[in-house]
Amino acid sequence: MGFNHYRAVRCGRSISSSGYDVERISSKSGTFLNMVPGSYDGQDAREFSNAIQQFQRELNYISSESKRLGNEIINTANEIKREEEEKQRIAREARLKLILGT
Please write down the HEC assignment for all residues of 21-64: HHHHHHHHHHHHHHHCCCCCCCHHHHHHHHHHHHHHHHHHHHHH
pLDDT value of position 1: 65
pLDDT value of position 31: 83
Sign of CA dihedral 59, 60, 61, 65: positive
Q: Tell me: the pLDDT tens digits for 34-76?
A: 776 666 678 888 888 888 899 999 999 999 999 999 999 999 9
The CATH code belonging to domain 5-100 is 1.10.287.1060
What is the pLDDT averaged over residues 78-95? 96
pLDDT value of position 38: 64
How many whole angstroms separate alpha carbon 10 and alpha carbon 73?
9
